[in-house]
């Protein structure tokens, strides 16, 4: 893994745009490192996000 520091906002290159399009076409694959979340966990996450948004306002 590498880190890149971007000092100014740069437009995406054509290669980056193609990579994003390719990634969007692929299905999400769940495994033991990244399991699918249960509906209860999804509800808890959504609730936490709503609470976080309320505190910022």
What average pLDDT does the segment 18-27 reach? 96
Statement: residue 9 has pLDDT above 70: yes
For residues 20-55, one letter each, b for 16 or more C-beta atoms within 10 angstroms of the residue's C-beta and e for the rest, the string is: eeeeeeeeeeeeeeeeeeeeeeeeeeeeeeeeeeee
Is residue 56 over pLDDT 60? no
- pLDDT, averaged across the chain: 87
What is the average pLDDT across 40-56? 83
């Amino acid at each position: 893994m590498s880190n890149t520091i971007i000092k100014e906002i740069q437009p995406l290159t054509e290669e980056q745009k193609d990579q994003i399009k390719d990634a969007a076409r692929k299905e999400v694959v769940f495994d033991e490192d990244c399991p699918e979340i249960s509906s209860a966990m999804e509800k808890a996450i959504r609730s936490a996000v709503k609470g976080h948004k309320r505190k910022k306002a």
